[in-house]
Amino acid sequence: MRLHPVILCGGSGTRLWPMSRAALPKQFLPLVSDRTMLQETVLRLTGLPSLASPLLICNEEHRFMVAEQMREIHCQPEAILLEPIGRNTAPAVALAALTMLQRDPDAMLLVLPADHVIRDVMAFHTAIVEAYEAAMTGSLVTFGIAPTSPHTGYGYIRRGAPLSGSASVFSVSQFVEKPDLTTAQGFLASGDYAWNSGMFLFKAVRFVEELTRFRPDILAACQDALSDVSTDLDFCRIKADAFRACPSESIDYAVMERTEHAAVVPANIGWSDVGSWTALWDVASRDMQGNASRGDVYLSDVSNSYVRADSRMVAVIGLDDVVVVETADAVLVAHKDRAQDVKQVVATLNAESRSESTFHRRVYRPWGSYEGIDAGNRYQVKRITVSPGQKLSLQMHHHRAEHWVVVSGTARVTCDNSTRLLAENQSTYIPLGSTHRLENPGKLPLEIIEVQSGAYLGEDDIVRFEDVYHRTE
C-alpha cells in the first residue's frame, strides 16, 4: 500500500503576528529555516518507503502560493484541493480520503499540518513506519509527542495497553482537552500521557467507515462537494455551496475520540506546533545569552529573548525575556510571558478594519508581487514585480489612472488597441477607463514603479476581461 501524505495548509496563525497574517499565514513563511514551513513539511518526508506525491488542501485565496512553493522545491503534488471556506480538519480529511479512494482504493493517508517543526527527522520516520504497521491492521493512529513540560496549551492523549504484536504502538485510553497547570503536572509525572500532535495515519477506507458511523452528515456534505469537481490549472475546485453547508468539526471530535480503533505512537521527535513567539524561541538556535535573533539585529545586555528584523536594523538594550518582531509596517514588543496576547492585537485590528491584520506591505499575487511605497489624497505609489513570463490580467479601472516607469527588465504594455515594449527608464500612461495589461516577456524579473491617481484607489476597482490565472474575485 502506498503512503499518501495529506498536507493541511489552512490556519491563520494569528499568534505569530506581525509576521503571520491572513493573506500570508505562518505555514507559508520561512520562520525556522530558509524554507517555508510548508516546504519543510513536504521535504522531511523524503526517504520514506512507498511514498506517493502529496495531496495538499488549502484555502482558495492561498492556492497560487501553495503551487509556487511546491514548484520551488520541485514537488509535483497529487492534487491541490481548494476549500472555499474553512470547515476544520474532519471535513478536510474527508475530502482527501474520498479523493484518494477514487485514485487508489488501498490508499494509506499520512495527515500532517503544514505548520509544525520536527527536528529529529529520523525518529519521525521511525514513528511513521511503526504507525504504518498498526494502520495496516485497521487502527486509526495518531502521534503522541513525549511531553517535556506541563504544557497547558496542548491536548493530551493517555495511552492504554500495547497493541497485539507491537511494543511501540498503544491503544488510546483517553483524549484529554487542554488541562490546567496542576493537571498537566500530574500528567507529566505519571508518564502515561503525551501531547496530541494533530498528526494521523490510517487507511482512507477505514476513516470513511468510521466517519460513516459517527458523522454521516459530514461525509454526505463532502461527497456532495466532490460530486462536481472542476480542474483549474493545478487546482481542484469542489462545489462551494455543498461544502459551506458542511458542519465544522475537528477530526478528534468527529472520529478519534469516538472510535474503538484509535491507537497512539509515542514519539520523541523534537516537535512543536510553533503556536506562539515563545514556542518559536524554544525551537530556534540561541546564543550564549539565550537569545534567538534573525535579520539585522544589535543586542546589548539582552538575554533569553527573541528578536527578529524583517526590513530594517533593530537594536535592543538591557532587556530580558522579551519578543521583538519588526516588519515593514508593524512592530511587536512583548514580554515572553505575554506572547499569547498577540491575538488580542489582531482582534482589535480586525474590529477597526485595519489592513495590518490581513496584508503585509508586500502583497503576493500569482504573477509576482506589489508593495505600497507612499499614499496620500488622490494618489498612491507602488513597486510592482512581475515574474519572468508572467502577465497581469487584461483589465480596466473606473476610478483611477496609472503611470508606469520601468526600473529594471522589459515590459510589454497593452493599452486599448496598442501594444509596445518598454525598457529600463521608459514610461507610459494608462488613462482612466482604458483596457490594459502588463506583461514580462523576459527571463529576468520586471520591476516598475506605478503611480495611481484618482478619486478611489482600492484594489477592488478592477474589472477583469481576461486572466490566465482564472481569478473570478
Over residues 135-177, the pLDDT tens digits come to 999 999 999 999 999 988 899 999 999 998 777 899 999 999 9
What is the dihedral sign for C-alpha 269, 274, 275, 279?
positive
pLDDT at 262: 96
Please state, in angstroms and rounded to a whole number, the distance separating the CA atoms of residues 187 and 127.
Answer: 22
> What local confidence, expressed as pLDDT, does residue 1 receive?
85
Specify burial of residue 323 (Cβ count, 10 A radius: 0-12, 13-18, 19+): buried
3-class SS at 281? helix
User: Residue 302's beta-bridge partner residues?
Assistant: none
Handedness of CA 366, 465, 402, 416 (dihedral sign): positive
Domains of the chain: residue spans and CATH: 3-272 (3.90.550.10), 279-343 (no CATH), 362-466 (2.60.120.10)
Residue 152's nearest CA partner among 344, 345, 340, 346 is 340
**C-alpha grid cell, residue 95:** 475530502
pLDDT of residue 471: 76
Whether 203 contacts 138, CB under 8 Å: yes
- Partnered with residue 394 across adjacent β-strands are 466
**Distances from the Cα of 214 to the Cα of 70, 217, 246, 341, angstroms:** 35, 9, 15, 36
Q: Are 225 and 217 in contact (CB under 8 A)?
A: no
pLDDT of amino acid 27: 96
- Which three-class secondary structure state does DSSP give residue 216? helix
Low-confidence ranges of the chain (pLDDT < 70): 472-473
pTM attached to this predicted model: 0.89
The whole-number pLDDT of residue 164 equals 82
What is the full DSSP assignment across 132-156? Answer: HHHHHTT-EEEEEEPPSS--SSS-E
The helix (run of H) or strand (run of E) holding residue 447 is strand 446-454
Torsion sign over Cα 103, 79, 271, 62:
negative
